[in-house]
Amino acid sequence: MKDLKKEDIKQEVFDLYDDYAHNKLNRRQFVEKLSLYAVGGVTISSLLSFMSPDYVNSLLVKPDDPTLNSGFITYESPKGGGTIKGLLSQPKDSTTKVPGVIVVHENRGLNPYIEDVGRRTAKEGFISLAPDALSPLGGYPGNDDDGRTMQKERNQQEMLEDFIAAYHYLKNHENCDGNVGVVGFCFGGWISNMMAVRIPELGAAVPYYGRQPEAEDAVKIKAPLLLQYAELDTRVNAGWPAFEEILKAENITYTAYMYPEVNHGFHNNTTPRYDKAAATLSWKRTIAFFKEHLK
């Protein structure tokens, strides 16, 4: 069996994975279409394994990092019923209150990658909260396939309310200085855009490859935006020109980057869609943006 490398994978396979990850294909359809690319010593099982997330070997900040206080909290869900669980992470030895950042997961719940991003954010001197929108259904189930299925059962607007509630929880936390921003990925990118629509006092929003708000919502944005897009992500990018027109017309503060020759999900270091150069640069820009605006 051939040992796969990213350069061995055709762009069509990444596009198929994107359709699968966004519920346009079920697993059976994904495997059937993937079989067309199982040639030249490449098997279906090796392709599936290569495209699947590797959470075990991808953590950049360990859960027990000695410089952080990181653990789960709960807060009330205003629409979904019950409580929302979230990972709260903060610098251990900070003697002053610090700005806060909400970290919003993709369309599969609070998986280890997003927990890690929450801790990465705290390592930069922020207090971060990474909620799990699957909490009313029992929480992230331990794998992304079931997580995607579960998340489809929740109403998007109700989940948005849960993340808005997370903003208020963090803003009022005893260790937060009241300045709060949001960063989100994929579904979380849309949530980040919509939090900018819904929360006039939001300090900053950084949507990664997030679906854009409707025009009637976009005009309500007050928060500065840092928009991170992937050049090969034609699905999300289709909405960008119209969104940019509104941002310009309404004099909304924004900076947008289109990272060349990378796929949707390029920041996620657990799958081969990851692009180290783009992920590193975009994260450096994200942290600098928060340090500029959350003060």
What integer pLDDT is reported at residue 231 of this predicted model? 98
Is the Cβ–Cβ distance between 224 and 201 less than 8 Å? no
Structurally, how many domains does the chain consist of? 2
Strand partners for 103: 183
Q: Give domain status of residue 246, yes or no.
A: yes
**81, pLDDT greater than 80:** no
**Residue-level pLDDT at 94:** 82
Lay out the sheet containing 127-131: strands in order across.
68-76, 83-91, 127-131, 98-104, 176-185, 204-208, 225-230, 254-259
Question: Average pLDDT for residues 94-110, to the nearest whole number?
Answer: 96
Look at residue 62 and tell me if it is in a domain.
Answer: no
One domain for residues 17 and 122: no
Structure tokens at 155: 């109403």
**In a shared domain, residues 34 and 94:** no
Q: Are residues 116 and 165 located together in one domain of the fold?
A: yes
Q: Are residues 113 and 228 in the same domain?
A: yes
Residue 233's CATH number: 3.40.50.1820
The mean per-residue pLDDT over the stretch 278-290 comes to 98
For residues 115 and 224, membership in a common domain is answered with: yes
- Pair type for strands 254-259 and 225-230: parallel
20-40 per-position pLDDT tens digit: 989 899 889 999 999 888 887
Across the chain, what does the average pLDDT equal? 95
Residues 133 and 241 placed together within one structural domain of the fold: yes
Structure-token pair, residue 247: 């941002």
Please report whether residue 276 resides in a domain: yes
Amino acid at site 42: V
Give me the domain span that covers residue 143. 68-293
Q: Residue 93: its pLDDT value, please?
A: 85
Is 56 domain-assigned?
A: no
- pLDDT score of 2 more than 80: no
Tell me what pLDDT residue 112 has. Answer: 98
β-pairing, 83-91 vs 127-131, is antiparallel
Helix (H, G, I), strand (E, B) or coil at 131: strand
Both 119 and 22 in one domain: the answer is: no
1 in any annotated domain: no
- Flag whether 59 is in a domain: no
94 with 10, same domain: the answer is no
Please check whether residue 125 is in contact with residue 91, taking contact to mean a CB–CB distance below 8 angstroms: yes
Q: What is the DSSP string of 165-209?
A: HHHHHHHTSTTEEEEEEEEEETHHHHHHHHHHHH-TT--EEEEES
C-alpha–C-alpha distance, residues 3 and 106, integer Å: 29
DSSP label at residue 3: P
How far apart (Å, rounded) are the C-alpha atoms in residues 63 and 172?
A: 24
Structure tokens at 108: 């599969």
DSSP string, 198-222: H-TT--EEEEESPPPPPHHHHTT--
What does the pLDDT look like over 43-55, one tens digit per residue?
888 888 888 899 9
Residue 98 inside a domain? The answer is yes
Q: Are residues 145 and 42 in the same domain?
A: no
pLDDT of the residue at 44: 86
CA–CA gap between residue 243 and residue 215 (Å, rounded): 7
* Bridge partner list, 129: 88, 102
Residues 35, 74: one domain? no
pLDDT value of residue 1: 41
Inside any domain, residue 111: yes
Rounded Cα distance between 137 and 81, Å, is 10
Average pLDDT over every residue of 264-284: 97
List, for residues 110-166, the tens digit of each pLDDT value.
Answer: 999 999 999 999 999 999 999 999 999 999 999 999 999 999 999 999 999 999 999
Q: Are residues 138 and 175 in the same domain?
A: yes
- 242 has pLDDT over 90: yes
| Tens-place pLDDT, residues 180-216 | 999 999 999 999 999 999 999 999 999 999 999 999 9
State mean pLDDT over 218-230. Answer: 98
Task: Return the pLDDT at 80.
Answer: 61
CA contacts within 13 A on the Cβ side of 268: 27
CB 181 within 8 A of CB 203: yes
Are 18 and 83 part of one and the same domain? no
